Structures are given as C-alpha cells and as structure tokens.
Amino acid sequence: MGHLPLFILFAVFFPDFVNGQFSSDCSDAPNDAMRMVCRRLRVMDRRARDNFQSQLDNEVWPPAMPGSPVWQQPVPVPPNARGQVATHPYECMTLQCLCPFFNGRIGPDGHCMLTNGSPLTMGYRKEYRMMTDSERQRFHNALNTLKRNGEYDRLSSEHQRVGTGSGAHSGPGFLPWHREYLKRVEIALRLIDPGLFVPYFDSVMDGYLEDPRDSILFSNDFLGETDFNGFVIHGPFAYWRTLEGRPYIWRNLAQEGQLFTELQVNQVLQQTNVEYVLAYTVPLPGCPYPTNYGALEYTHSNIHLWLGGDMKPPTTSANDPIFYMHHSFVDLIWETWRQTRQPKWVREDAYTPDLPQCANPQHFSYAPMVPFNNLANRDGLSNSYTDQMYRYAPRATCTAATPTCGSKYLFCDTRGYPHCVAKIKLGGLCGRFMGFDACYNGQCMFGRCVPGPTPPPFRPTPSTTPAPATAARTSQTTTPAPRPFVDCFNRNPCCESWAARGECSSNAAYMRTYCQASCHICNPSYNVTNECQNRHVSCQQWTQDGECHGNSQMFMRENCRQSCQLCSVRKNLRCTAPPTKWPFRTLTWTLRDSEYITPGDRFIIRNTLHRAFNLWASVSSLKFVERPVDYRWGPDINIAFLKKKHGDNMPFDGPGGIVAHAFYPTIGILHFDADENWTLNQGNGINLFQTAVHEIGHLLGLEHSTDPRAVMYPQNKKFDTHYDLSDDDVRAIRKLYPPLKTFPLGKVL
C-alpha cells in the first residue's frame, strides 16, 4: 500500500524547475507587497503542516449502532452529481434540491415554482455597479437581515477559522474552497430574497482612477464612507459590529498593495497548465514548480492589502461585505479560464498533483474541505456550480462607437483601447478625465468633481432591424421570504437513547456532530416529543426519490418517519450499546446454508469472503478462521444470503436499495440481499468482494468514513480491479486492533 514519491517522477520531466533558483524567504518576490503576501502565505502554510498530523488522529466514533446519513436555466443534471438531495440548503447543488427550502413545488416540467408563481432561477451574478438600484437595495437589505439574525457572523466565522493553517489558503485548494463558501453565502441571501445573487467587484475599473479612494464604490450608495480613522459610520453597513467586538468595520484604503489590473487578469487567462492556476503559492525546496507570483491567490491578496483594515488579514476579512464581492470577481476570473482553457469533461478532474514539497496535505485533491462535511477539495471543481446554481453576467465593456458601459455609475474612457471606469464621487480627483462624464451627479472643474450639470447620456442610433419578438413580461410580485430554516437535527434514530446514557459528555466529539438536537447544542424548530412527523421540509420529496432506504436511511428513520411510514415501529428498537470492538483477536465465521445459493455459488462466495477477511487481517492484529456450519461451539460471525423480512427487523427491499447490512461487535451478523445481482470480476451488478470488505469493516466496529477513497465510504463503488484499503481505513482499524509490528500504513509483518 506504499505510494511512490511522485516528486521524483516530476523531477525527471522538469529538471529546469528543480535546478532553478528557489527562495524560501520570499526574497525573489517582485515587490514589497508581494513579499508581504508571500511571507503571510508561508506562515499559514507552516501552521497547516503542523496541524495536519494532529488532525489525522482526531477521529470521532459513534456510541454503538452503525449509520449516519450519508443564463438562469440549469443544464440537465448528471445522474451521479452531488447535491441533488441535502439535509441543509447550503449543501444543495441543484435548484430542485433547494426548492423545498423556499416552500416551492416541483412542476411537471421539473422546474421549481415559488409561492408567488414565479420560477426559482439560477443566480445571475452582475458587477456591483451594474445592478439596478432596486437590486442593490435588496442586496443591502438581505445582508443586513443576515447580520441581524446572526447568520452573517456565523458564515464569517467559518472563514475566520480557516484563516490560518488550513486548505483554504496558501495552495491549490484556495479557489475550490472559496467557490463552495461563496455558494453557501449566496444561498443564505436567496433564502431571504430568491432573486438575489452575490455581485462581483471588478476593481480593474477603479484602478484606472487617479485616486481609487474617490470611486463611487466608496460612497453611501454602495459600500459606505468612513470617518478619519477608517471606521465605516455611513452607508448600508454603518456600525456593523465585527467578530472581534469592534462596533464598526475598519478600512484603511490605499496604504499598500494595489487593485486588479487588466494585465493581471489576462496573465491568468493566458495560462495553459492547471498548476499555474490552482497554484502552489508557497512551494518548498524540491518542488518542481517555482513560485508563481502572478497566480490568483497572490494578485487577489493585493486587493486585500489595498483595502486594508479588516480586509487585510484573512482572519478578519469576512467582517466586510466587500470580501464576498471581491471573491466573486476572483471566481469569475477562474471560471473564465476554465471555460476558455479546459474542455468541460476535463474541468472536474484536472487538479494539481498531490506533492508534499509543493503544498501541505490539506491542499491535496482528496483532502477534506474543512469545515464543509463530506466534501473534498476536488469537489470544488464540479461543473454543477455554473451549470446549476449561478452564472456570471459579462464584465462592463464599451467601444468608441458605443461609448456607454450600461450603468450610470460607470463611464467609458475612449482613449486608446476603450474601457469602462468607475465614476468619481463629488470632491474626488478627476483631472485625468477632463471632457469625460467621469463625475457622478457633477462635473469636473479644476481637477475636482463638483456639483453641476452632467453631460447628456450617450444614446445609440436606433437600429433599423426590427427587434426579435419576445414574450410579454409577467407582472412582478414580491416573493415572501420562506420560514427560516433551522439546521438542528439528529442524524441517527438512536441519538435520544445515547443522550439519555450520558453520551453527550462521554462521547462529545461524535454526539456534537450527529446528535445536536438531543445534546441541546441547538434549538430544533419541530416538536421533539412527536416521533411520527416529518421534521425536515424535504421529507416527502426524498421519500419519492427512494431515500428511506440506502445511505440516508438513518437520517430518514429519525426525521422523516411519517413519509417513510415508520410510525408503527419503535424508533429506538435497535439502540443497544454493544462494545465498539471485539475483546479478542481471533474471530471465527461461518457461511450459513441458504435456499438462495447453490453449492457452486457457495464455493465462490466462501473464497470471496476469505479474501475480504484477509484484507483486514493484513493491516491489523486480527485473525479470521472459517468454521463449518455444524461447528459445535458456534462461530463469532454468522453470514447468510436472505430476502425480504428475515427476522432481524431490517428487511431487505429487493433489487437496488439496501444490498447488505452488518451489526456492530459483538453481535456478529452479516446479511446479503439474495435478490441482488451479485458479481465479481465485471462492471455490472453489485460486486460481492467490495461489498463484503465494507460490511466486514462494520462487523469489526468501524463507522462510515468521510474519505471518498476509503472502502468505508458510504457509497457503492464501481468495480475496481485494484480495490484496496485506503490510508483512512488502515488508520481506523489499527486504532481498534493495533498490529504488533508495522511499517507506516503498510501491511503487518
């Protein structure tokens, strides 16, 4: 199971990079601002590497039973795409998944219709100054609603926690992490006003100004103005208390750094290798890729420095709403590169190589995307973000023939290559733009914007070609905000029994994650004394989708008992508390006789089970011995192929759905559904060997893993000729049954 050091292979193919100059003290940075950014990223990288090993050992274990749930029209959803079903709206990746959280309904055409009769559409992210005045005001109102109800601070604290020592900064995970994070913030806004989106802040347009601090962006109609100390005391975000307890947001504009330039944007778009976009920003000596100071993580940090104050360090930057608009523009640049440089089928798989001398392991492609449950870094490459959830409006442009930018807050500089520029607020410097409509609600006199008549707006000559016919616009009505979603659920029907036994304190790590309602970590919005109810807004939809069985059955048995027709079954029927591991190291097993398997099948099944048991034995101190059916003492583990109801209160459901189930130690029961199409060395059907390895893991005391590479990951995997235990599986089984002598994560000697 050892892995070849990939960096040796890369050294062969990239000798110039390896032998070139390497500076670990950032002395090769092109300027002081980049040197500051580089040093900060290196500090964050060192902390992340220091934290990584301790995180490997920070695993949680359940008290007893296995099981935890595991233009504005979107394109068709691929069958296996994630986010089609979710217990929390932030986990959704389709509009159909979001629909119940908006109190909407899915129509016959598959579209979600809101309560006011309008469809739920994808977000259409415009530049902040390209929004209509109504859209901008609604955006400000929604942000203030999130601030008042605490959700803005909760979301900001998520970024604060990954501000240092994580996979969100200083490496390839930077862009995927912030894409997922921004999607969640946008959903929070849309739950208040479904027509909203996270606009982007194209700071290139402000950088053209003589002094960008004079941009209309920093007026009370937009981000608000500050006092002498840089505290935001005017505008829509005045007197916002920060996470640190300061009574206002702090900005310290133009003291260092710079805003984006068109050259920097084009340098990113001209890259042809993913390694220079999902970049190694703080490589160590021996990395075949030199530091790329033109990478988005570096150039975007310049804007953080220029804005200063709260925006300067990552731990406080999300205090200021401009953070989200700035990162929306960064995401736009990345998406533009993806669409112009990568075929669609490549975009979801092209991730930089996992090289420890180039990035800390929290940036590796399959590393968990903390703190987003069950996501890996490479999940941020999904096409579903812009296929299903949002799209970007084009950047503002103009020409000499049509010198207008489509917004009263922008003007067109037609000198040289025509481009759009942010208008200047009254009192700002405008000498560079004499003769242009550069001053908002004023005119440029003696180099300053002063009140006065503004030039008439440019009006293009009407086209002689008739406009295409369009459907009449329906009347717009305000969609009432749906009832706030409260994410307070147990993930297992045994949570109440476990909490009554004191597991909330004795097994706090697990219970905090999977039994929040029973441990009073949050306040549920449903009646906890009524077991026979649908506690989640999506229960009926999930039941129609067959979620009452399969990977989500534990969540459904707890929260969707009415729609799953489980009211007649006691919820805690199987909530016993057996040990989480076997008290001895030699276990016996037997394949029981069954009318559903022939003698020939039995021979093949026994050989397959031997292979599955031996896989676990090879990395632990366990030994497995097969016993005959009539063995006088009875085996530790009984294995059988059965159908439908078979006496253990966990009936099978025919082909598909539940294919097998196993009980925790020391019950020793493993059942396979005889109705399934069991196969071994072919892609069709259900692979017996792979299923047996997974279920035996449960027999030995293992819970489901969050690592998609692990055999204990709660998903049926396609047939794999190299199917083997992952490092996560090995660590988990060795925690229960440590081998006598091993090489690191290797086989037992």
Residue 546 has pLDDT above 50, yes or no: yes
Which pLDDT value is given to residue 55? 46
What are the phi and psi torsion angles at 587 (to 5°)? Answer: -115, 140
pLDDT over 70 percentage in the chain: 85
Q: Is residue 486 part of a domain?
A: no
* 11 sits in which H/E element: helix 6-13
Which pLDDT value is given to residue 31? 82
Q: Is residue 746 part of a domain?
A: no
Residues 313 and 196 in one domain: yes
Cβ neighbours for 728, distance < 8 A, ≥ 6 positions apart: 705, 707, 709, 710, 712
Amino acid at 612: A
> For the residues of 261-287, what is the DSSP string, one character each?
-HHHHHHHHT--SGGGTTT-SSPPTT-
Which pLDDT value is given to residue 482? 56
CA 41 – CA 170 distance, rounded (Å): 5
Q: Report the candidate in 77, 178, 200 with the shortest Cα–Cα distance to residue 127.
A: 200
Per-residue pLDDT, averaged over 608-634, amounts to 89
Q: Is residue 2 part of a domain?
A: no
Measured N-to-C along each axis, helices 296-307 and 32-56 cross at an angle, to the nearest 10 degrees, of 110
Q: Report the candidate in 158, 153, 242, 259 with the shortest Cα–Cα distance to residue 201.
A: 259
The domain that holds 312 is classified in CATH as 1.10.1280.10
CB of 695 closer than 8 Å to CB of 615: no
- Reduced to 3 states (helix: H, G, I; strand: E, B; else coil), residue 587 is strand
pLDDT per residue over 552-595, tens digit each? 778 888 889 888 888 877 776 666 554 478 888 999 999 998 88
Show the CA angle centred on residue 699, arms to residues 695 and 702, nearest 5°: 85
Per-residue pLDDT, averaged over 218-245, amounts to 96
Per-residue pLDDT, averaged over 237-249, amounts to 96
**Termini Cα distance of the chain:** 13
Residues 209 and 230 in one domain: yes
- Between the CA of residue 241 and those of 141, 177, 250, 690, what are the distances in Å? 16, 26, 10, 53
- Between the CA of residue 381 and those of 45, 222, 357, what are the distances in Å? 22, 32, 23
CA 579 – CA 665 distance, rounded (Å): 6
Q: Report the candidate in 335, 352, 334, 339 with the shortest Cα–Cα distance to residue 296.
A: 334
Which pLDDT value is given to residue 72? 62
Which pLDDT value is given to residue 351? 96
CA 226 – CA 163 distance, rounded (Å): 25
pLDDT per residue over 402-437, tens digit each? 999 999 999 999 999 999 999 999 999 999 999 899
Of the ranges 16-25, 365-374, 691-700, 712-721, the best mean pLDDT one = 691-700
Which pLDDT value is given to residue 584? 87
Q: What 8-state DSSP symbol labels residue 387?
A: I
Question: How many Cα atoms occupy the beta-carbon half-sphere of 118 within 13 Å?
Answer: 15
Q: Categorize the per-residue pLDDT at 459 as very low, low, confident or very high, splitting at 50, 70 and 90.
A: low
Per-residue pLDDT, averaged over 190-206, amounts to 97
CA 207 – CA 517 distance, rounded (Å): 50
Residue 466 has pLDDT above 50, yes or no: no
Residues 690 and 630 in one domain: yes
Residue 220 has pLDDT above 50, yes or no: yes
CB of 169 closer than 8 Å to CB of 363: no
The domain that holds 695 is classified in CATH as 3.40.390.10
Q: Is residue 676 part of a domain?
A: yes
Q: Categorize the per-residue pLDDT at 71 as very low, low, confident or very high, splitting at 50, 70 and 90.
A: low
Per-residue pLDDT, averaged over 264-272, amounts to 95
Q: Categorize the per-residue pLDDT at 741 as very low, low, confident or very high, splitting at 50, 70 and 90.
A: low
pLDDT per residue over 323-358, tens digit each? 999 999 999 999 999 999 999 989 999 999 999 999
Show the CA angle centred on residue 636, arms to residues 632 and 641, nearest 5°: 95
> Of 52-66, 86-100, 423-437, 716-730, which gets the smallest average pLDDT?
52-66
Residue 450 has pLDDT above 50, yes or no: yes
Residues 528 and 399 in one domain: no
* 730 sits in which H/E element: helix 727-736
pLDDT per residue over 135-152, tens digit each? 999 999 999 999 999 999
Q: Looking at 364, 379, 404, which one is the last position of a domain? A: 364
Q: Is residue 282 part of a domain?
A: yes
pLDDT over 90 percentage in the chain: 52
Amino acid at 634: G
- The domain containing residue 506 runs over which residues? 495-559
- Reduced to 3 states (helix: H, G, I; strand: E, B; else coil), residue 657 is coil
Q: How many residues does the chain have?
A: 749
Which pLDDT value is given to residue 551? 64
* Number of domain units in the chain: 5
Q: Report the candidate in 524, 612, 515, 517 with the shortest Cα–Cα distance to residue 554.
A: 515
Show the CA angle centred on residue 465, arms to residues 463 and 469, nearest 5°: 110
Residues 114 and 210 in one domain: no
Residues 428 and 541 in one domain: no
Residues 613 and 726 in one domain: yes
Q: Is 389 exposed, middle or buried (0-12, 13-18, 19+ CB in 10 A)?
A: buried
Residues 411 and 523 in one domain: no
CA 128 – CA 107 distance, rounded (Å): 33
Q: Radius of gyration of the chain from Cα atoms?
A: 29
Which pLDDT value is given to residue 9? 30
Residues 321 and 218 in one domain: yes
> Of 165-179, 368-382, 548-562, which gets the smallest average pLDDT?
548-562
Q: Are strands 586-591 and 442-445 parallel, antiparallel or unpaired?
A: unpaired
Which pLDDT value is given to residue 23? 58
pLDDT per residue over 355-368, tens digit each? 999 999 999 999 99
- Reduced to 3 states (helix: H, G, I; strand: E, B; else coil), residue 655 is coil
- Between the CA of residue 377 and those of 273, 278, 394, 671, what are the distances in Å? 18, 11, 27, 35
Which pLDDT value is given to residue 666? 76
Residue 237 has pLDDT above 50, yes or no: yes
CB of 479 closer than 8 Å to CB of 115: yes
CA 712 – CA 272 distance, rounded (Å): 37
Torsion sign across C-alpha atoms 550, 537, 525, 138: positive
Q: Is residue 644 part of a domain?
A: yes
Show the CA angle centred on residue 60, arms to residues 357 and 154, nearest 5°: 80
Q: Is residue 15 part of a domain?
A: no
Maximum Cα interatomic distance, the chain, rounded to a whole number of Å = 105
Residues 205 and 348 in one domain: yes
Which pLDDT value is given to residue 555? 85
* Bridge partners, 422 (sequence order): 410
Q: Which residue has the higher pLDDT, 244 or 56?
A: 244
Mean predicted lDDT score pLDDT of the chain: 84
Which pLDDT value is given to residue 575? 66
Per the structure block, which two tokens stand in for 37?
Answer: 């950014």
Residues 43 and 85 in one domain: no
Which pLDDT value is given to residue 465? 45
Residues 703 and 675 in one domain: yes
Neighbour tally for 127: CB within 10 Å: 26
Question: How many Cα atoms occupy the beta-carbon half-sphere of 498 within 13 Å?
Answer: 32
Q: Is residue 741 part of a domain?
A: no
